[in-house]
Structure 1
């Protein structure tokens, strides 16, 4: 790129200023973003591309003068854009190409991928761009905010609406309700013009779970937390809805994730092919803040800016330092921090626990707990998976949890086990660790019989039994007829707190599971699933359904019941 081409634009181009600082190493970025910036530089000497700053300047001015932050610690303050944010907005808007079909100059980039680590202001930035497009774009502009779930889609929508409410100027000419944001304010009626009821533009929200049914004829689509999408089924209706527009804008914003072969994985594979010159996507702006290696995360604190452009301004360095220190000692935290704070792909093949945490050769005699109180947990499977029943026991003044358990499997499933697992299962059946149900289904009456037997033999009274609602309706009624108190425990992110406590207690050797080999096997097989709030839940490793995790699940369910009823249960234990 020659200076002669840059010089006319340098003085008033945030993009060129940003690139210059990146090239001079004043701003540290990763190689993938540098490749994209080099591509943008080439546009300045491409005669087929017109450089026009008007749209970008209009939107930057709108954001900085009309939009205000709505969350602490910046609530009520003007939305003053950092240089990297202004450069990003310019990259979207300043490059124009002539469209022969409609005989107009339109934006070169109509498809945008924005990948940045969490807490770098990605949702507020894209929300501000969407609001700017609503006001600065053409009349009738319709905008759709989307994400994997309704709550996440609502975060972007609420960010837009809060910025609108913070500005008296914007609020005077708009209105909002549960359906969306619209032009025309009944309290300040305008009969004609862009800001009147005649402007049918709007901003709405949908989630992947609603099927994107409202995504018809929109001009701007923004999809948040793309990493949570398993496929493109919720994306395609939105992209299709943009197809009628002359100058549409589609933005995907996200951090990295842990879903294997999800939608984001495929998009990133394509994006990297584009950056490597292996695939041609001239209308796609790929703006990715990524590390060049995992090693540099641990060895060079300065490199953190590669995935965290807002470090020190938006995101506190002390926060990231704290996350790194926790990640050094916690596998769970390590997976989360690398994916969410440094955009380094993690996957759900990552084991939850390391072997040294799981191994515990302690044993105990159940006779020690005669007439004690316990907490029960079950993970029932009608057919394919192992079924697990568990009782967690405690002593007064002893923080340890002691586990007894029983496993169940249908007879027909034994023949279909992999050879290595079949030998183990046959051994466990001989040792009476697993009870076999005749036929093709688990007989849940055997589960009931096991709890009854524990009470009749040892006098162990079950305080409450946690169970998942699936496949358990008739079993639950049977158990209640015997006088057991059952509590529904959903196998979702509500298991996050108990799962973390199980991990901590295993590390501290505060769980004695009697050195049971099936418990150990299930713990080894368990992988992690995360959401954007850093909640976790247990899952199987993708593609390894024969690796059972039921024993780990019942351990976590027992902890869930314990946490929810800790005070009352410990009083019973202390009697």
Structure 2
């Protein structure tokens, strides 16, 4: 029996506790193994080659230095799946991309360091280029340094692989292992045979992934490994890859060359159930210390600010930072709607104007008779010069580490000519809703600090003298409505149509609390985390609640 069969059978027979996503992937793999379809076949010799190489030549780089590296059953099964399925004619690998999501301290870095040595030495590729990629060079060097230590502990490998200034060099096939950061200027023009992207969830812009994926196009059978835990950054390349992987496992997308291994809890209620921990931690008890995880869970029960870290890093659940106003469950609402089909005729507006070149946000809040949900229509603006500079610089991280250029192409962000946004865009947008979409705005909430008298007069001339409602930005005005808004978000009564900018702003929002427990929104310590969308929502929400009876009489 192969390791793939042994592990997969135990998973599907519930002899090894596992999550839904792992059951899906092993059901798919065993079906491929037993029911040959298409041109792909399983070659056990090729499947065992990386396992035999690693356990024979790779030595422990920490702990018991120099000891043989013994792979666990879940690792052997994964290696056989990756390396064992090949084309029946060419014998080239089926899979060229692997996503591994595991809780921290399950041996991901050690496993990948050994893998890259195998790809360098034992994969029959001429002049293979192997790259460790991460957001920061220090992170990328973790895998590189561990591979170097493994080589130094192995007499056979150390004899043939030498450390040069910036790489590990195998003279026999002129292959190299290097570490590169995502902000490196040398990412273009690579010819990758093996690529390990470490901590994918920490990478805020997908350009690095796209570049490395494209760098493999000239290789016969390249391999791209993305290894990661979940993270606190949302709407990034990790979320995109995770969703893509789930769509493949659910049969919504067909990609014969992408293989995901997602170890996670099936739901957040399992986080304090010890029998479920292995779902996110396949190396629990062998690689990962179960006593330490018990300590972390116990601390999280006593310290709510520590719980998000445990949920994200040990159990791969989505969360925001511990200091955030909202949890990710409160931010995320997957309900979608087509605005033009909802029959809205009247709405309540809210907007937040930036002082200079920052993000500007406006919202229309709409409701329907017999429906207690609030549906949002949003628009954002940035100065045109800011986005042009991003394009000209080719800045992979983009401004604020979010994809403004993509959002502009999607039509959820607009630009305004020059180096700052004229606040007239708010008036023009509400007029556009009225004249082009037949949506009449009854009242508009705004921060009077940012609006001058001339613009205020223009609003009143266009929509009526009683339309504009000032919303003072302080605890006395904001505290109670924010607590009510949080409850509505938690109950999924605020439907933002999965707008990524809305969700980004909501997840960025932190709060300041006074001695009486009153709260108000703040950005926190990171100025790149915009909260303008949250403020425009709060302004509109306050006005809606204050004029609720009047609004419902109209609709």
- TM (norm. structure 1) is 0.60
> In 2 relative to 1, CA 353–106 (structure 1 residues): closer, same or farther, beyond 3 Å?
closer
Q: Are the aligned partners of 1:116 and 1:290 in contact in 2 as well (CA < 8 Å)?
A: yes
Query: What's the counterpart of residue 245 of structure 1?
Result: 219
1:307 to 270, 280, 286: 280
> In 2 relative to 1, CA 216–176 (structure 1 residues): closer, same or farther, beyond 3 Å?
same
> In 2 relative to 1, CA 37–212 (structure 1 residues): closer, same or farther, beyond 3 Å?
farther
Query: What's the counterpart of residue 484 of structure 1?
Result: none
> In 2 relative to 1, CA 309–212 (structure 1 residues): closer, same or farther, beyond 3 Å?
farther
Cα RMSD of the aligned pairs, angstroms, is 3.5
1:136-535 aligned at under 5 Å gives the runs: 136-138=122-124, 139-184=126-171, 194=172, 199-211=173-185, 213=187, 216-298=190-272, 300-347=273-320, 351=324, 383=356, 412=450, 422-425=470-473, 520-522=519-521, 525=522
> In 2 relative to 1, CA 346–541 (structure 1 residues): closer, same or farther, beyond 3 Å?
farther
> In 2 relative to 1, CA 422–65 (structure 1 residues): closer, same or farther, beyond 3 Å?
farther
Query: 1:331 is paired with a residue of what secondary structure?
Result: coil
Query: 1:267 is paired with a residue of what secondary structure?
Result: helix
Q: Are the aligned partners of 1:219 and 1:249 in contact in 2 as well (CA < 8 Å)?
A: yes
CA displacement, residues 59-96 of structure 1 (integer Å, 9 cap, x when unaligned): 11111121122223x43322100111101110101111
How far does residue 311 in structure 1 lie from its aligned partner after superposition? 0.6
How far does residue 236 in structure 1 lie from its aligned partner after superposition? 1.3
CA displacement, residues 123-156 of structure 1 (integer Å, 9 cap, x when unaligned): 1101111111111012311111101111111111
1:108-123 aligned at under 5 Å gives the runs: 108-123=94-109
> In 2 relative to 1, CA 23–540 (structure 1 residues): closer, same or farther, beyond 3 Å?
same
CA displacement, residues 190-228 of structure 1 (integer Å, 9 cap, x when unaligned): xxxx2xxxx321111111111552551121111010001
Q: Are the aligned partners of 2:128 and 2:193 in contact in 1 as well (CA < 8 Å)?
A: yes
Q: Are the aligned partners of 2:305 and 2:322 in contact in 1 as well (CA < 8 Å)?
A: no
Check if 1:53 corresponds to 2:44. Answer: yes
Check if 1:24 corresponds to 2:13. Answer: yes
> In 2 relative to 1, CA 229–543 (structure 1 residues): closer, same or farther, beyond 3 Å?
farther
1:61-80 aligned at under 5 Å gives the runs: 61-72=52-63, 74-80=64-70
> In 2 relative to 1, CA 540–123 (structure 1 residues): closer, same or farther, beyond 3 Å?
same
Query: What's the counterpart of residue 33 of structure 1?
Result: 22
Equivalenced residue count is: 380
Check if 1:42 corresponds to 2:31. Answer: yes
> In 2 relative to 1, CA 421–255 (structure 1 residues): closer, same or farther, beyond 3 Å?
farther
Distance in 1 (alpha carbons) for counterparts of 2:468 and 2:203: 34
Distance in 1 (alpha carbons) for counterparts of 2:525 and 2:84: 43
1:130 to 105, 112, 116: 116
Query: 2:99 is paired with a residue of what secondary structure?
Result: strand
Greater Cα radius of gyration, structure 1 or 2: 1
Q: Are the aligned partners of 2:131 and 2:179 in contact in 1 as well (CA < 8 Å)?
A: yes
1:555-566 aligned at under 5 Å gives the runs: none
How far does residue 110 in structure 1 lie from its aligned partner after superposition? 0.9
Distance in 1 (alpha carbons) for counterparts of 2:450 and 2:271: 49
CA displacement, residues 531-557 of structure 1 (integer Å, 9 cap, x when unaligned): xxxxxx995559436699xxxxxxxxx
Query: What's the counterpart of residue 392 of structure 2?
Result: none
CA displacement, residues 380-433 of structure 1 (integer Å, 9 cap, x when unaligned): x98578xxxxxxxxxxxxxxxxxxxxxxx995468899x99953238989xxxx
Distance in 1 (alpha carbons) for counterparts of 2:313 and 2:298: 15
- TM (norm. structure 2) is 0.62
CA displacement, residues 481-538 of structure 1 (integer Å, 9 cap, x when unaligned): xxxxxxxxxxxxxxxxxxxxxx9xx9xxxxx966696xx424xx46799xxxxxxx99
> In 2 relative to 1, CA 290–161 (structure 1 residues): closer, same or farther, beyond 3 Å?
same
Q: Are the aligned partners of 1:332 and 1:352 in contact in 2 as well (CA < 8 Å)?
A: no
How far does residue 53 in structure 1 lie from its aligned partner after superposition? 1.7
Distance in 2 (alpha carbons) for counterparts of 1:57 and 1:76: 22
Distance in 1 (alpha carbons) for counterparts of 2:326 and 2:223: 43
CA displacement, residues 325-358 of structure 1 (integer Å, 9 cap, x when unaligned): 121232331111111100111135972699xxxx
